[in-house]
Structures are given as C-alpha cells and as structure tokens.
Amino acid sequence: MDALDDDEVEALGAGGWVVRDRVLGPAAASVAAAIAALDGGLTPAQVGRGAERQAVPTVRGDRTRWIDPGAPPPGLDPLITCFHTVRDVFNAAAWLGLDRLDVQLAAYPAGAGYDRHLDAFRGRGSRRLTAIWYANPGWTDADGGALRVWRGDAAFDLSPTLDRLVVFLADRVPHAVQPGARVRRAATAWFHGRDDPA
C-alpha cells in the first residue's frame, strides 16, 4: 500500500475515508477463495453488549468469525500482511498511534444487510481505525451490497469489489451494508491504540 497523500489525510481527519483498489494484486483471488472456504465456520453476528448480545437478523444479517492475526487460517497471510501495512502507513501519515488489531471475517447472504452504525463511540472503547477488505470476485454495481458511508447528511455508496480496501476512523464515519443479490464477503480489521486496554 502506497503512502497517504495530504488530501487523504485531510479527508480522514474530517470524517471521510480512504479507498484503495488492487491492494493485494495477484494474491487477491486466492485470498478471496480462502475466505470463502471458511464459510462453514461462520456464526450469526450479534448486536448489543455483554449479556444482552443477541442475533437480530433484521438489524445485522451477516455471519462472522474472529481470526487470530498472529496465526491466521491457511491462505490469509497476504491479507494480514496488508493490514499490518495499513497500520504502519496510517501511523506514519496521520500519527494515530495504532498497535493491536482485531480481524473478523463476514459473509452476508443474499438479501442481508447491516443497519447504519459506528464502529466505536468517542470516549468509549478503543477502536481507532476500521479497514475493510472485500473478497468478492466478479462483483458489479448491479449486485448491490454497497457499503453506504455518510459524511454529514450526504450518503455515498462504495461497491464491495474484489481487492478494494476502505479505511476510516472508527468513531467518525456512520456506515451500513446494503443488501446484495448474492453472498458478499469481507474481512475487517479494527486497530487499537498503543495505550488502549486490551
């Protein structure tokens, strides 16, 4: 991943996002296949906190699996390396002090989505940056499934095409997953600060 330019850093700080395509290059198809092969190990995603957590498909219809970035499943090493590079690039350009990361795989069946939400709330939790990599070969706009992001009152749709990476500050960009016409897969990394509790 190339260094961020000044416009990208400014957009990030103002509640925007950075989009990069072809981040894994030739490795993208094999990583996408490795993610698809893990579908059987995914479980329904939940919403809420603590004992109140439950699956609510009308709010969030994906199936997920947490993976250990220190020991990823076979075939995902290039993706984990990419996420580490994201951390280094954003630390160098935006001085975010990022350190630890959590990684989750998600698959949305056809017709499933995720309502508008933030990945962190200011002053609560320790997620600082969200990076989403899309694992959808042959995806077109007609397939739907866009990541809808908001900046103020304006909404923008980003197609989840293979090898696209979208990065934003976790507590500043409301976003939602629009329903798609077929299974939609992604890997998300959430980055925590060096001084944040584990």
State the Cα–Cα distance between residues 196 and 194, nearest whole angstrom: 6
Q: Which residue has the higher pLDDT, 99 or 125?
A: 99
State the Cα–Cα distance between residues 25 and 107, nearest whole angstrom: 22
As a whole number, mean pLDDT of residues 4-13 equals: 88
Strand partners, 175: 117, 149
Residues 188 and 106: beta-carbon distance below 8 Å: yes
As a whole number, mean pLDDT of residues 31-55 equals: 87
User: Is pTM beyond 0.85 here?
Assistant: yes
Q: Are strands 147-151 and 154-158 parallel, antiparallel or unpaired?
A: antiparallel
Statement: residue 83 has pLDDT above 80: yes
As a whole number, mean pLDDT of residues 122-126 equals: 66
The full set of domain ranges for the chain reads: 6-45+59-193
pLDDT for position 50: 76
pLDDT for position 2: 83
As a whole number, mean pLDDT of residues 102-122 equals: 93
pLDDT for position 176: 97
What is the strand order of the sheet 63-67 is part of?
17-21, 164-169, 127-134, 184-193, 98-108, 63-67, 43-44
State the Cα–Cα distance between residues 156 and 154, nearest whole angstrom: 7
Q: How many CB atoms lie within 10 A of CB 153?
A: 5
DSSP 142-178: GGB--EEEEETTEEEEE---TTEEEEEETTT--EEE-
State the Cα–Cα distance between residues 10 and 94, nearest whole angstrom: 9
Query: How high does pLDDT run on average in the chain?
Result: 91
As a whole number, mean pLDDT of residues 28-37 equals: 97
Statement: residue 194 has pLDDT above 90: no
What sign does the dihedral 78-80-86-91 (CA atoms) show? Answer: negative
pLDDT in tens, 144-183: 999 999 999 999 999 999 999 999 999 999 999 999 999 9
Query: Which CATH architecture group holds 6-45+59-193?
Result: Sandwich (2.60)
As a whole number, mean pLDDT of residues 70-89 equals: 96
Burial of 61 (0-12, 13-18, 19+ CB in 10 A): buried
Contact partners, residue 38, CB within 8 Å, separation at least 6: 65, 73, 105
Sheet strands (E) in 78-162: 98-108, 114-117, 127-134, 147-151, 154-158
Confidence class of residue 53 from pLDDT cuts 50, 70 and 90? Answer: confident
